[in-house]
DNA sequence: TGTCATGTGTCATACATAGGACACACTTAT
DNA sequence: ATAAGTGTGTCCTATGTATGACACATGACA
């Protein structure tokens, strides 16, 4: 599923329960023109900036990192972390490329639990 | 140190040993105009695209990931890896943000050695 | 002393990014 | 039936990105 159709689906789903999720009202709350949001939802234009995507994620109760990924982007805070230690993170991420989800989850958990 | 001055320093260092590392010749080998490389090395323009940075890294025997980081970028292959599993990698990277280098290195080594 | 190479200044360009403004046709509630 | 709300089409614009082309002054060198 593309970013555009995913957003449309998500918003339409909420709209079914709550009329406040019209294109116009959502657009206003996230600070863009309705016509622009409409174009975004139809893939008529490229996905918006990270800031707008974050606002959209909050508005639609979606995970910002997932939405950003669908938009072909990566959160700028993650980029900053990687850029501070480029060799370290580049090596690690490339090593993890082919690892299954559960292995990565386990690493994350171990790290959080301070097993290092 | 900035990207620009680092590049200049690196190239000048090589040039001291080998006259083939003039602005003109390096520019030609990486496929840009000499005037453009000159501007890059003086910070007169923003760092070039990822492709040019990679070519420069190879030419100057520098680590591409490090050069990209200095240029405020992250390698596109890493971005692609992250975008495929955004939640997983976002969580992991944020957890690793404050970990010391040696801990991250150890994780990378364990992963490579298949301790998972 | 003329030739050649060196770095650089100036100007221009092509395309992408990130939207805003406004009008219009259709539906829905009153 | 009329007012309000809905989605969307068209046009416009500002800024950034990523270079190229060319000329020029200086210095090395044969």
A1, A53, A89, A105: best to mutate for the B interface, most B CBs within 10 A: A89
What whole-number distance in Å separates Cα of residue A97 and Cα of residue A104?
10
CB–CB of B99 and A116 under 8 A?
yes
Closest chain A residue to B97, measured at CA: A81
Please compute the mean of the pLDDT values over residues B26-41 and round it to a whole number: 97
CB–CB of A92 and B111 under 8 A?
yes
CB–CB of A104 and B90 under 8 A?
no
A85, A101, A106, A110: best to mutate for the B interface, most B CBs within 10 A: A85
Give the closest of A65, A87, A89 to B86, CB-based.
A65
Q: Which residues contact B83 (CB under 8 A, 6 or more apart)?
A: A69, A72, A73, A74
Give the closest of A69, A88, A97 to B104, CB-based.
A88
Token match 């520019």: residue? B27
Please compute the mean of the pLDDT values over residues B12-30 and round it to a whole number: 97
pLDDT of residue B58 exceeding 90: yes
Q: Measured between beta carbons, which residues in chain A are less than 8 angstroms from residue B57?
A: none
Say which DSSP state A99 is in. Answer: S
- In terms of Cβ atoms closer than 10 Å to its own Cβ (0-12, 13-18, 19+), residue B114 is exposed
Domains of chain A, CATH where assigned:
3-70 (1.10.260.40), 85-112 (no CATH)
pLDDT of residue B116 exceeding 70: no
Please compute the mean of the pLDDT values over residues B66-72 and round it to a whole number: 98
- Interior angle at CA B41, CA B38 and CA B45, nearest 5: 80
Q: Give the residue ranges of DSSP H helices in A18-63.
A: 23-30, 34-41, 50-60
pLDDT tens digits, one per residue of A40-64: 999 999 999 999 999 999 999 999 9
Please compute the mean of the pLDDT values over residues B47-75 and round it to a whole number: 98
Residue-level pLDDT at B50:
98
- Residues in chain A with pLDDT values less than 70: 115-116
Residue-level pLDDT at A115:
66
Output the DSSP codes for chain B.
Answer: --HHHHHHHHHHHHHHH-GGGSHHHHHHHHTS-HHHHHHHHTTSS----HHHHHHHHHHHT--HHHHHHHTT---HHHHHHHHHSHHHHHHHHHHHTTS-HHHHHHHHHHHHTT--
Residue-level pLDDT at B115:
66
Helix (H, G, I), strand (E, B) or coil at A55: helix
Q: How would residue B108 be classed by pLDDT, with cut points 50, 70 and 90?
A: confident
Q: Measured between beta carbons, which residues in chain A are less than 8 angstroms from residue B108?
A: 88, 91-92, 95
Identify the sign of the CA torsion B47, A70, A76, B69.
negative
Residues of chain B with pLDDT > 90, as a percent, come to 91
Please compute the mean of the pLDDT values over residues B62-71 and round it to a whole number: 98
Please compute the mean of the pLDDT values over residues B64-79 and round it to a whole number: 98
Please compute the mean of the pLDDT values over residues B69-91 and round it to a whole number: 98
Q: Mark the nucleotides of strand D covered by protein, meaning any atom under 7 Å from a CB.
A: 5-10, 17-23
What whole-number distance in Å separates Cα of residue B13 and Cα of residue B1?
16
Please compute the mean of the pLDDT values over residues B90-99 and round it to a whole number: 96
């Amino acid at each position: 599923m593309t970013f555009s159709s995913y957003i449309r689906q998500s918003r339409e789903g909420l709209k079914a329960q709550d009329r406040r999720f019209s294109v116009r009202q959502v657009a206003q709350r996230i600070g863009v023109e309705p016509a622009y949001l409409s174009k975004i939802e139809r893939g008529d234009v490229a996905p918006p900036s990270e800031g707008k995507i974050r606002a959209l994620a909050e508005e639609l109760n979606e995970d910002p990192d997932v939405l950003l990924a669908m938009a072909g982007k990566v959160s700028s805070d993650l980029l900053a972390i990687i850029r501070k230690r480029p060799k370290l993170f580049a090596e690690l991420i490339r090593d993890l490329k082919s690892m299954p989800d559960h292995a990565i989850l386990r690493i994350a958990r171990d790290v959080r639990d301070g097993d290092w």
